[in-house]
Amino acid sequence: MAVQKRAINDRDKQKRRDKILRTAWQLYKKTDGKLPTVSVIAQKAGLSKGCVYLYFKTKNEIFLHLFMHQLVQWQASVEEHLRKTDQKLSETDYARICTDYVVKNPLLLKMGSIAPTILEESTDERVVLDVRIQLAKILDDRSRLTRKLFPGLSMAQWMNVHLRIYALIFGLWQMFYNSPHINQVLQNTRIDMFESDFKESVVSSVATFLKGALIAS
């Protein structure tokens, strides 16, 4: 594949940037959550390695941008579910809506579990701030939605609730998820405490936490 020429205007630069991210995401999905090198991304996108570095300093920066996009998609999914619902929701109903996207898109769960480590290792303050701002916006948007559904908590309280729900979801997944290597190790053992249904467990956990937060208010 011929390497494309350098973009010369803002529109071309944005298209080039989007192409890099789309390519990286497709490769990321094919490797089950292992982000390929910048060289592989560049080759697949038909770009030079140097061209990719004009837009992203490291493959970890590419990962964080993919993660932010998935967070936005998650929030959009929650909002769409709520728009289609015209009945009063229970805490369990909301827990199912809140977790539906991540259950169907386990790569987001994997990304969320390693994102903190990648953020800590990042030397680019702008990228770190972008991720924090994106997460804060999602928590804010979600808090505004749930404040209408379940009156009784202030915006600040809802922000804290959703931050903890976020941590609960990703933390629970880390306990449930086993890599193929770990599964092989456990195959002939009787250790089955981590073999429960993650979907039902995460819904139950979020609903229980939400009920407790509302009772405490």
pLDDT in tens, 102-126: 999 999 999 998 898 998 887 788 8
What was the pLDDT predicted at 7? 56
Q: How confident is the model at residue 184 (pLDDT cuts 50, 70, 90)?
A: low
Each residue's pLDDT tens digit, 49-96: 999 999 999 999 999 999 999 999 999 999 999 988 878 999 999 999
* pLDDT at residue 194 tops 80: no
* pLDDT at residue 182 tops 60: no
* pLDDT at residue 127 tops 90: no
Each residue's pLDDT tens digit, 17-46: 999 999 999 999 998 778 899 999 999 999
Task: Give first-to-last CA distance, the chain, whole Å.
Answer: 60
In CATH, what number does 1-56 get?
Answer: 1.10.10
What was the pLDDT predicted at 188? 58
What was the pLDDT predicted at 84? 87
Task: Give residue limits of the domains in the chain.
Answer: 1-56, 67-216
* pLDDT at residue 180 tops 80: no
Report whether CATH 3.40.50.1100 matches the domain 67-216. no
Q: Do domains 1-56 and 67-216 have the same CATH topology?
A: no
Q: What is the mean pLDDT of the chain?
A: 87
What was the pLDDT predicted at 167? 94
Q: What is the chain written as a DSSP string?
A: -PPPPPP-SHHHHHHHHHHHHHHHHHHHHHTTS-PPPHHHHHHHHT--HHHHHHH-SSHHHHHHHHHHHHHHHHHHHHHHHHHT--SPPPHHHHHHHHHHHHHH-HHHHHHHHHHHHHHHH---HHHHHHHHHHHHHHHHHHHHHHHHHSTTS-HHHHHHHHHHHHHHHHHHHHHH---HHHHHHHTTSS--TT-S-HHHHHHHHHHHHHHHHHHH-
